[in-house]
Amino acid sequence: MNKTVSALSLFAILLFAAGCSKHDPVIRIGVSAPFTGDQASVGLTILRGTQLAVDQANAQGDVLPGYKIELVQIDDSHSPTQAVAAAKKFVSDPEVIGVVGHLNSSCTKPAAQIYHNARVAQITPASTNPEISKQGFDTFFRVCATDDLQGPKAAQFAFNELGARKVFIIDDKTTYGKGLSDEFAKAFIAQGGQVLGHQGITQGDKDFTPLLTKIRPMSPDLIFFGGLYPECSLIIKQARDLNIKAPVMGGDGIYDVTLIRLATPSASEGTYATMIGADVKALPQAQEFVKAYETKFGDVGSYSAYSYDAANILIQAIKLAGAPDREKVIQILKDGRTFPGILGQTEFDDRGDTKNKIVSVFRVRNGQWEHVRTV
């Protein structure tokens, strides 16, 4: 009896599955970033920005006659292996026309190869390592500034505005962290500043007191960190516990509200971060987005505006292509036209990088990130 029941239900499931495959025509957009783990709070801003763009596009009617857009999300847990696996999964689904991803440069770089081989357009909202666009993949696009701009801008700001002359540099040994801090170091030395030392730490580590203890007697004017906020918040807190007064500065990877919560507001006071675009909350054309995002998800966070623009650019390209055709979408993104968005007019250069490159500086003040100015 039992066997018959299970055989019958298996049959029913198979029937159901067969029915499912004949669904309405859809166009899929993939999105991948770390949605779990210690970087989840930043990764989720990428997911939500993309989600908002897709929802709004669908609410306005069919993107192409008869087609709705569907978002496919895969968590890459900031692991390059997972990112490559995600990319393979996306490209094996013929309905996926383009991908928004990833967050970490170390993930974006190897995944770009997969997208290129399969001829799928990839737009990264957040990976800033300049090497990624030098791999010669015409499927790669980027809506944010790069570290060869961010690093020097940060160095100029530290030298001229903060009056720093001696810095100690720490990075997390990733493509992003190491790349950014190398650019920073180069520019800082060129300005006439002194780099007291440059050491790596490991992502996921929690105890940085041995390194900070070593740094303390060198009394740097500034500690520059190339990496992301989970480690940076601990570095800030442990530096203050060791009575190190030097401010900490970092790149876009540390620009997140979670940093202030984890490092405690009092310890993080006076921390600086450069960001790879304008202050979204102050852009007139972004106000509608900020409002829609805040009612749905809360604070706009780090990369929601970038992923929102990235997704919208993909959607515009699909509309212009007039068909769910991967190659046509790539050609449209490539041919030098401008795409209006909330970050401004995005136009890709021949490497796929946006020409709209802005770096702004933020500072923690009274427990909040505050826009200092655009540099």
Partner 1 sequence: MELFVQQLINGLTIGTIYALIALGYTMVYGIIQLINFAHGEVFMVGAYIGLTAITFFGFVSGSTLPMAMLYLAVMLLISMAGSGLLGIVIDQIAYRPIRNSPRLVALISAIGVSFVLQNAVMLIYGPQDQGVPQIVPDIHFIFGDVTITLMQIMILAVSLVLMVFLNFLVQHTQLGRAMRATSQDHKMARLVGINVNWIISLTFFIGSAMAAVGGVLFGLYYHTVNFHDGYLAGLKAFTAAVLGGIGNIPGAMVGGVLIGLAEGLGAGYISSEWKNVFAFVILVLILLFKPTGLFGERVADRA
CB 279 within 8 A of CB 371: yes
- Smallest distance from partner 1 to CB 238, Å: 9
Residues sharing a CB contact under 8 Å with residue 15, sequence separation 6 or more, in sequence order: none
Q: Which stretch binds partner 1 (CB under 8 A): 82-90, 214-222, 272-280, 282-290?
A: 214-222
**Binding string, residues 158-177; x marks residues near partner 1 by CB under 8 A:** ---------------x----
- Smallest distance from partner 1 to CB 211, Å: 4
- Smallest distance from partner 1 to CB 235, Å: 11
Q: Cα separations (Å) of 52 from 61, 100, 164, 244, 289?
A: 15, 13, 41, 42, 9
**Strands of the 194-200 sheet, one edge to the other:** 194-200, 166-171, 222-226, 248-250, 272-275, 360-365, 368-374
- Smallest distance from partner 1 to CB 87, Å: 21
- Smallest distance from partner 1 to CB 75, Å: 9
Q: Which stretch binds partner 1 (CB under 8 A): 21-29, 83-91, 97-105, 211-219?
A: 211-219
Single-letter amino acid code for the residue at 33: A
Chosen residue from 210, 284, 335, 366 binding partner 1 by CB under 8 A? 210
Q: Measured between alpha carbons, how far is 359 from 36 in angstroms, rounded to an integer?
A: 28
Residues sharing a CB contact under 8 Å with residue 160, sequence separation 6 or more, in sequence order: 191
Tokens found for residue 222: 């500034």
Q: Measured between alpha carbons, how far is 348 from 354 in angstroms, rounded to an integer?
A: 4
Q: With binding defined as CB under 8 A, does residue 198 bind partner 1?
A: no
For partner 1, the closer of residues 43 and 130 by Cβ is: 43
- DSSP labels for 86-100? HHHHHHHSTTEEEEE
Q: With binding defined as CB under 8 A, does residue 258 bind partner 1?
A: yes
For partner 1, the closer of residues 169 and 343 by Cβ is: 169
Helix 304-321 crosses helix 326-334 at what angle (to 10 degrees)?
110
- Smallest distance from partner 1 to CB 278, Å: 27
Chosen residue from 27, 211, 254, 286 binding partner 1 by CB under 8 A? 211
- Smallest distance from partner 1 to CB 209, Å: 4
Chosen residue from 131, 207, 349, 370 binding partner 1 by CB under 8 A? 207
Radius of gyration (Cα) for the chain, nearest Å?
A: 22
**Binding string, residues 217-256; x marks residues near partner 1 by CB under 8 A:** x------------x--xx--x---xxx-------------
Residues sharing a CB contact under 8 Å with residue 224, sequence separation 6 or more, in sequence order: 154, 158, 167, 168, 169, 170, 181, 184, 188, 248, 249, 250
Q: With binding defined as CB under 8 A, does residue 134 bind partner 1?
A: no
| SS3 at position 184 | helix
Chosen residue from 56, 73, 264, 331 binding partner 1 by CB under 8 A? 264
Strands 360-365 and 368-374, bridge-based pairing? antiparallel
**Binding string, residues 26-65; x marks residues near partner 1 by CB under 8 A:** ---------xxxx-xx------------------------
Q: Which residues bind partner 1 (CB under 8 A)?
A: 35-38, 40-41, 173, 199-202, 204-211, 213-214, 216-217, 230, 233-234, 237, 241-243, 258, 261-264, 266
